[in-house]
Amino acid sequence: MTALILSVFASTLIFVIFKLFSKYGVNTMQAIIINYFAACLCGLFFYSEPITISKIPTYPWFYYTLVLGALFIIVFNLMAITTQRSGLSVVSVATKMSVGIPIVFGLLYYKESLGILKSAGILLALVAVYLASIKTKDGIAIKKKNLIFPLLVFLGSGIIDTSIKFLEDAFVAEQDVPLFSATIFSAAAFIGILVLITQAIQGKFKFEFKNVIGGIALGIPNYFSIYFIVKALRSDLLDSSGIFTVNNVAIVMISTFVGILFFKEKLLPKNWLGIVLAVVSIFLVALGTW
């Protein structure tokens, strides 16, 4: 239970920091790349075993982490494109609804149970995520030519969560979780550096120290969001479909309340309905899994 709560807390903190980025004019791309370095260092710091760099490529999960690191950067850029073309609500829905992918994977691949209560809880969770994420009265509108971008965000986010579950279960030893997480972030960081070099060559790069501060502030909770979700998946609290459902709707619910309390966000009636359904879905999933 503790790991799941801390994962939700860390992910909510990421939401707060992103909000502060826009307030203080932090360059999101630069901060994201610095964040990956900071998250990597966190993983190395909390790894209790001796670290031999030459040994890391011999781990069975190593090459998978390189792919995940690349996916982190790709999905982030797709999110930026989707925001520019279709708005923040579309990105929010695509990202959060992607929880359906690891849920289905858990049910099919791991043969996890699916009773009436759990099924109702998962369906309610998806409805809750949608209603809580839409902050406009008219819902979302996407032009056909831009539809591919939120679809790719949906698939990319879902594949990342599913891959983390599969890898931690199949290849990652208990004591190697910090190193596993650090390697994913280091791969994303080095790919990000290539992006910055490209920007510099094109004359689009402008360094500001506040981007470094923002990246470090983001990197610490980002590392722990991955670390604790892996720990939660390894616990006996719920199966993976239950963990991903509860984790996702809890983040949406708490992030919404944080937005109200600290950023004076106004909620529509459907947003409040989404929060109520989120609470109900958590109880249904928990009851259906235990």
* Residue range 215-246, pLDDT digits in tens: 999 999 999 999 999 999 998 878 899 999 99
CA pair distance 153, 3, nearest whole angstrom: 26
pLDDT at res. 139: 63
Tokens representing residue 285 in the block: 């999933």
The pTM of the full predicted model, rounded to 2 decimals, is 0.88
Can you point out the beta strands (E) in the chain? none
In order of 167, 202, 233, 242, 245, the CA distances from 286 in angstroms are 24, 52, 14, 7, 10
Give me the percent of the chain exceeding a pLDDT of 70: 97
Closest C-alpha to 84, from 17, 153, 35, 131: 153
CB burial of residue 53 (10 Å; 0-12, 13-18, 19+): exposed
Average pLDDT of span 171-192: 92
Q: How does residue 161 score in pLDDT terms, banded at 50, 70 and 90?
A: very high
Average pLDDT of span 42-67: 91
b/e 167-194 (16+ beta carbons within 10 angstroms → b) = bbeeebeeebbbbbbbbbbbbbbbbbee
DSSP 8-state class, residue 20: H
CB burial of residue 4 (10 Å; 0-12, 13-18, 19+): buried
Locate the domains of the chain by residue range.
2-289
* Residue range 4-32, pLDDT digits in tens: 999 999 999 988 898 888 789 898 889 99
Res 287 pLDDT > 90: no
pLDDT at res. 235: 86
* Residue range 76-134, pLDDT digits in tens: 888 878 877 877 677 878 888 898 999 999 999 998 888 899 999 999 999 998 888 88
